[in-house]
Amino acid sequence: MARRNNPAARLAFRRPIPYVRAGRKAGKQDRRKGPMIIIDPLIRIVIVALDIYIWIVIISVVLSWLVAFNVINTRNQFVYTIGSMLHRLTEPALGRIRRFLPDLGGIDISPIILILLIYFAQMVLVNILQSLHGGPVVVN
């Protein structure tokens, strides 16, 4: 009975309280935080870069239509520079897709397929982020 009344003895038999940080128990999640410091921002940067690339593809398509219908003229140095830059940025991806597409006449659906593939890659990256965080995440 002397042990129960002794405060030092009561502390010795008490179970340790787990270290709690931000509402979580210490354990695997805290050990995973190290790689998350680098992986999370990298995945978010890739998602933003893919968003920018989608806009580059859309602008390239619209510019090619404007040139094809003689709305703008490529003899203008600025228009030629922008068109050349957009062509160099989009043609490697679009050319690979065009190799697998059948000939549809004058219709080129490779930009649509590229945008769908980019959306698919973004969804995969968001799912990776959700699995790393253990729940839903806000990307944008």
Alpha helices in 1-139 (DSSP H): 2-5, 7-13, 28-68, 77-100, 110-133
Please say if the pLDDT value at position 4 is more than 90.
no
CA distance 54 to 90: 10
pLDDT digits (tens, 9 = 90+) for 5-44: 655 555 454 544 454 445 555 455 555 566 778 888 999 9
pLDDT digits (tens, 9 = 90+) for 45-55: 999 999 999 99
Q: Which pair of tokens denotes residue 122?
A: 């973004």
pLDDT digits (tens, 9 = 90+) for 59-113: 999 999 999 999 999 999 999 999 999 999 999 999 999 999 988 888 899 999 9
Q: Where are the domains of the chain?
A: 51-140
What is the pTM assigned to this prediction? 0.73
